[in-house]
Structure 1
């Protein structure tokens, strides 16, 4: 794909082929039908579960494989994020000059409301939800969707929508040109989906498409890979874990150790006032404030939302305290970057109390190298429990990265055996463990239907301990 503007296609002219019949594909097919286009659908599944919900006017339905001949007849292909651009049938269409776009491109071409566009390797859903809640609490008619919950095109049904807040994945962004967001942000960058993108450069390039045409941006000072190559006159705010410069967001620590989110020299809110915990969540709160400010949301209203926001399930979610040990479910931590953020965020909470974390890692590693985790584990963790398909690979990578001699690694196969191990090691009189963190740094499909099922299993095991 190139960065050239998407060719305008007149309504009703040319065949529109939707590839992939998940939630976004279904919404695209419905939208295109409503707009008067001639629509066909193809999917690799022989009987897609959502096929029964297609409009009756879609007569061409090619299932059981992506139909290459059908794509070559298209005036435009609308591809679902789960389908790679390197799929042979899709690549053949691209090579023939047929435009291949996502539902996000259709949305931004049709949307009349300002767009807040949020991407990044981690924390996208938390920040997107938080900005949406801030807007709603401020009395703004807001639509929240994209890679989170509601497909973006469904938001167009709200004709009075005054602000659209979108979570965008790299898969969605790689087929978007000139999103023209009111404010755009790459929250952070760490290796992820390299099995699809091929290398970090391609992943980075896909993420940074969010900045095309942006009217303002938010930048993470702690992560150089989030900084866009755009004109200096584009308004921007920055966030970070250090004290901020004038007019920017950051963290200020008082002499008594109290941490505050600040804008310049103005302390806005203390960490103790926030239901969400950990330094990474303070950074998420900063990002939401900066995005909201550039979208025109009033600051006092946003701060009140922060005081009420309890976070999302499976994202560093506090579950319970059992026998003096706190349990956190971060099953959504499916890559190394998200797990690093969770370890640092919670480790900084327990380290001043001379406490350590017990961390559960493992699942499908997606080709990642786990060496980067070792320094943080050495600093904040005393017990590592490895589960799942790549459990042995994780231990091998950690040890070659000079894992500390005082860090114990246990091979546990699955969560049930991990909890048997937790009971053993935490009952030791030498145990420093004050918190158990499930943040696997891996996908879950080796043992679960998804990260939510893995998180639910963890919660059930914690509750069984408490009973």
Structure 2
């Protein structure tokens, strides 16, 4: 835990007692603050009370007694309309901040300048965060990884000179961190997302940009226009990352053909054969990780060993191994066409298991990649809609359930003439028609693969 001593002796309101909210309440109390915590869920309130957190009804509270409102990132700050606690806090004239803002203040108070890497982007945040943390840990660093990737930042060990915090940040978290000042600020990419919470694409991009403004070093992917414009506006040390052919421009690392090149076209890393870093999107993730860890002194054999031992993340193009020539890949996290596009781009001779609860637009945007698919195996509620899209373009089989699809795909792939056929679960759909979560769906697929002869 990181006790929040910067609010010692003061009283704060806190709304949202999920994982990060509960951790924040406990960290504030451990640092000597008085907390009045609230949540719309009676179960969350009871769980907090059982751990010694003081709870209360903030609607009836005396807001003049509060120094701040600590808001969980899942609670609307501005759109579609501000939460009722936000209105009460603004009326009382107190600041509205989140748990990562509390960490930033603690870092400045107890370990000024300690290594702190913050990562954001519309896609690829979790893989890049995990890759950076893995390479640094492999090189001997004391690594604390958390934030949006799963572990609340205030549940981690406190900042220290010999300890690096590697923190994934969503746009919601950035919006609640007004003094964000990482050692390295990473922006992977920006595409339309969460506009219901941010109003416009311009506002969404502006929030993402705040992550790098006060960073000592900014590492920015420049393959999309909003990120490219942000890099141009950057004041201070900057490394650009691009996925492109040809030589790198000044202050730019280039990812191409399963390798990463420096500004003088020097080969910094060979990614060929690293199953967890297949595809151009992962080459970009690797290039960004390389630029980041190099800033902390990790280069050469230590860098190469860290990349090659990266296990990847569960359910994100996760290699499950071979059965004979057939490679099985769990990409259950791909709940929309944009995510599935990354997997289809990374392989050929694909026996593609897809379906579930379809998202708007379906799989029509993936049609340029249909020539990579040997056969499709349809499951779940999207079966008929997806069959209509595939008709005349990709041979398909209606399988209904994942177990039937896995068996059929495995048998067909094993009988094919391809040198390395791939059975790929990349559903391009939410899981809720047949499973509780994409994690359950991926775990079930893993079990079915293990059970194959």
TM above 0.5, yes or no, is yes
Match of 1:236 in 2: 238
Distance of 1:94 and 1:373 partners within structure 2: 44
Instruction: Please say which of residues 455-464 and 295-304 is displaced more in the overlay.
Output: 295-304
| 1:249 counterpart (235, 250, 253) | 253
For residues 165 and 305 of structure 2, what CA distance do their matches in structure 1 show? Answer: 21
Which string of whole-angstrom CA distances, capped at 9 and with x for unpartnered residues, describes residues 144-168 of structure 1? 2111232111234364553221111
Distance 1:9 1:287, change over 3 A: closer
- After superposition, what is the alpha-carbon deviation per residue over 1:399-427, rounded to whole angstroms, capped at 9, x for unaligned? 3xxx6832245555542343365367658
User: Alignment partner for residue 439 of structure 2, among 427, 452, 461?
Assistant: 452
Q: What is the DSSP-based 3-state SS (H/G/I as helix, E as strand, rest coil) of the residue aligned with 2:24?
A: helix
Counterpart in the other structure of 1:328: 329
- Could you say which residue in structure 1 is the equivalent of 2:42? 46
Query: Is 1:92 aligned with 2:92?
Result: no
Structural mapping, 1:383-394, within 5 Å: 383-388=375-380
- Contact 1:24–1:80 under 8 Å retained in 2: yes
Unaligned segments of structure 1, at least 5 residues: 1-7, 254-258
Partners of 2:220 and 2:231 within 8 A in 1 = no
Question: In terms of mean alpha carbon deviation, does 169-178 or 220-229 score higher?
Answer: 220-229
SS of the equivalent of 1:47 reads helix
User: For this pair of structures, how many residues does the alignment match?
Assistant: 434
CA drift at 1:39: 0.3
Cα distance in 2 for residues equivalent to 1:392 and 1:205: 40
Alignment correspondent of 2:9? 12
The CA distance in 2 between the partners of 1:71 and 1:304, in whole Å, is: 56
2:411 and 2:301 map into 1 onto residues whose CA distance is 48
Write out aligned runs for 1:97-136 (5 A).
97-111=93-107, 112=111, 113-136=114-137
| 2:261 equivalent in structure 1 | 262
Supply the distance in 2 between the matched residues of 1:53 and 1:72 (Cα, whole angstroms).
21
Instruction: Please tell me whether the aligned partners of residues 413 and 422 of structure 2 are also in contact (alpha carbons under 8 angstroms).
Output: no
Q: In structure 2, what is the Cα distance between the partners aligned to 1:442 and 1:394?
A: 11
- For residues 11-59 of structure 1, the C-alpha deviation after alignment (integer angstroms, 9 at most, x for no partner) is 323x312222122111110111122221011122221288257653x33
Q: Is the 8 A contact 1:363 1:387 kept in 2?
A: no
Partner in structure 2 of residue 31 of structure 1: 27
Show CA shifts across 1:93-138 (max 9, x none): 3552442221111111212323211112222222112212222233
Closer/same/farther in 2, CA of residues 423 and 10 from structure 1, 3 Å limit:
closer
User: What's the C-alpha RMSD, in Å, of the aligned pairs?
Assistant: 3.3
Secondary structure of the residue that 2:17 maps to in structure 1? coil
Judge which range, 291-300 or 19-28, deviates more: 291-300
1:179 to partner: Cα distance: 0.8
Q: TM-score, normalised by structure 2?
A: 0.83
Match of 1:360 in 2: 354
The one of 55, 58, 80 aligned to 1:60: 55
Counterparts of residues 276-295 of structure 1 (less than 5 Å): 276-279=276-279, 280-295=281-296
Deviation, structure 1 residue 233: 4.2
How many angstroms apart in 2 are the aligned matches of 1:427 and 1:209? 50
Residue 373 (structure 2) aligned to one of 378, 381, 398: 381
Deviation digits for residues 290-314 of structure 1, max 9, x if unmatched?
1112344334422221122221221
> Do the aligned partners of residues 325 and 102 (structure 1) sit closer, same or farther apart at CA in structure 2, a change above 3 Å counting?
same
- 1:249 is displaced (CA, Å) by 1.9
2:438 equivalent to 1:434: no
Instruction: Tell me the residue number matched to 1:139.
Output: 140
